[in-house]
Amino acid sequence: MTNASLFNAFLTVLKRDLTLALRTRSEIANPLIFFIIVVSLFPLAVSPESGLLRTVAPGVIWVAALLSTMLSLDSIFRSDFEDGSLEQMLLSPHPMTVLVLGKVTAHWLVSGLPLILLSPLLGVLLFLPFEAMPALLATLALGTPVLSLIGAIGVALTVGLRRGGVLLSLLVLPLYIPVLIFASNAIATAAADLSIKGQLYFLAAMFALAVTLAPLATAAALRISLR
């Protein structure tokens, strides 16, 4: 099988999932609205004092982004499982890892990318210094794909369960903690006008590992769940 055919299979799955997502726009809007609500309500619940908000802004934004991503994880494979197309993908001559990577990429484009584009506005709302904005965008750009890739493994393991939401949370949340720690620390460090190369290197390493290993693990988990 040539590289061109693999790339075409990837693009086909990507276009298909993006088309389906655009037909159900509420599924795209719900995580984004949740992200906005969580960040917006935090100053009302704690304090509108700018110094406090500036301190907690990195953690608040990243926790909200993490929870928003988890809201949309179930949509990666659920509809395909229910209509039987997931079984057809497993029977396809194309490697399942390529198809999985296409579906995860589509999920990130409709859930992670909007969070990245909206995050600077919410950073301003929380009085995040302008110097920390590039760090905020960089950590979200590196971290949100990792959340989607790791989450896909958990979804693949629980796709056959009727009420797998709680189990999914228990599976993926511990794996999300390193991303949350390094990302929020990088933003706080950038706000203090210090170098964040170390944190970004760790996030880049996690992204490289996730994009290499997560499709393999997800494909294996799907085969187990559909037996």
Do the beta carbons of residue 109 and residue 18 sit within 8 Å? yes
Q: CA torsion angle for 153, 157, 163, 168 (degrees, to 10)?
A: -40
- Per domain, the residue ranges of the chain are 3-225
pLDDT for res 1: 61
Least confident of 24-28, 122-126, 169-173, 195-199: 24-28
Cα–Cα dist 201/86, whole Å: 35
pLDDT, average across residues 8-19: 89
Q: How far apart are the first and last CA of the chain?
A: 26
Task: Give residue for tokens 């290993």.
Answer: 213
For residue 151, how many other CB atoms are within 10 A of its CB? 28
pLDDT, average across residues 182-209: 94
Asked whether the predicted pLDDT for residue 54 surpasses 70, the reply is yes
> Please, is 177 exposed, middle or buried when counting C-beta atoms within 10 Å of its C-beta (0-12, 13-18, 19+)?
exposed
Cα–Cα dist 173/150, whole Å: 10
Cα–Cα dist 100/16, whole Å: 13
Do the beta carbons of residue 36 and residue 118 sit within 8 Å? yes
> Please, is 165 exposed, middle or buried when counting C-beta atoms within 10 Å of its C-beta (0-12, 13-18, 19+)?
middle
pLDDT for res 215: 93
pLDDT for res 31: 86
Mean pLDDT of the chain: 88
pLDDT band at 164 (very low <50, low <70, confident <90, very high): low
pLDDT tens-digit map of 86-114: 888 888 888 889 999 999 999 999 989 99
Q: Report the percent of the chain where pLDDT is more than 70.
A: 97
